Amino acid sequence: MKLPERVTICEVGTRDGFQIEPDFIPTEQKIEVVNLLAAAGMPRIEVTSFVHPKVVPQLRDAEAVMAGIDRRPGTRYAALVPNDKGAVRAADAGVDVIHTVLSASESHNLANVNMTIAESLEKLRAVLDVAGKARLPVQCGISTSFGCPFEGDVPLVRLEGIVRRLVDLGAHGIGLADTTGMANPRQVTRVLEHLMPKFSGIEWTLHTHDTRAMAIPNILAAMEYGVANFDSSIGGLGGCPFAPGASGNVCTEDLVHCLHAMGVSTGIDLDRLIAVSRRVQEIVGRTLPGQIVKAGKSDRKYPVPDGVAGRLPRAS
């Protein structure tokens, strides 16, 4: 396999995950999780979102979370915004980078941000203005890039048109999001082959959900095509409240384990990350989908059973 030597992971559990938790996670616990993730060496964290507090009440404490976290040098702190009002709030709160959201399908965009795609693009123009004045880079995420739970297939020409508009507005990075886990590895390759050569100088990120157990295969397909930035969430938390059937993102510690096992570096301390995942399970009060927390790392050894130990052939 042709894989990048190093991959950059952006932890999104504190946003994509905490936004859908049935109970409000207390602000101090959100801050604790962000700090633990940074201390484990996480290079990027999407801390929260600056959206309408009535629409996503779980993240109504976005300002307080940003104000409460320790800023570890080497970690880039981001927040998600849908419009210029969110961008002003995010810039005032001191984010290092702004992540934006719009969908590649009209029905999901209306359900998620109450705007048509054209209206969203106008709002994002204003976001890029705000970010430009605040000297902040902007990564534009596109939900339902690989399929929509309401409309099904998303035509590649439509996706390309949206990317073109975002790049023309001044986006520094594009995040292709598989919001409800509809993508498969061949499709990921096809989409990347179509888009990446057309837009030079853009940093591409793949945002996956493991709804149909295809997240890591999709990431591998993207890595073979040269993508080296991936979103994931601790424990596999996550899901979009405005996309029926959505479930968690690819699990951060499972992805890091897979990458390290293949010799791809991430800069993240996996043992510390696993400890963070255990702490997050305590906070949300349930077992999360991640596998490595349950199975241990692949180098885990069990004691040889009694009846077997005495019958092992002697090594010559």
From 11, 16, 61, 106, residue interacting with Zn ion (rule: CB under 5 A): 16
The token pair that represents 128 in the structure block: 């890029």
- Torsion 109-115-118-122 (CA) sign: negative
Residue ranges of E strands in 43-185: 44-49, 76-81, 97-103, 138-143, 173-178
CA torsion 46-42-276-13 (nearest 10°) is: 20
* Binding pattern for the stretch 134-173 against ligand COA, x by CB under 6 A and - elsewhere: ---------x------------------------------
Q: Answer yes or no whether residue 52 interacts with ligand COA by CB under 6 A.
A: yes
| Residue 203 CA: distances (Å) to CA of 137, 138, 171, 196, 244 | 11, 11, 9, 9, 29
Q: Which two tokens stand for residue 166?
A: 């975002």
Task: Evaluate the CA torsion angle 190, 155, 55, 167 in order and state its sign.
Answer: positive
User: Based on CB atoms, which residue is closest to ligand COA, 89 or 165?
Assistant: 89
Q: According to CB under 6 A, which one of 101, 221, 250, 268 is a site residue for ligand COA?
A: 101
Among 207, 242, 276, 283, binds ligand COA (CB under 6 A): 242
Using CB under 6 A, which residues numbered 292 to 311 contact ligand COA?
none
Q: Is 240 a catalytic residue?
A: yes
Tokens 């510690």 sit at which residue? Answer: 253
- Considering only residues 14, 35, 83, 187, which one is a binding residue for ligand COA as defined by CB under 6 A? 83
Active site residues: 240
The residues binding ligand COA (CB under 6 A) are: 19, 49-52, 55-56, 82-83, 85-86, 89, 101, 112-114, 143, 240, 242
The residues binding Zn ion (CB under 5 A) are: 16
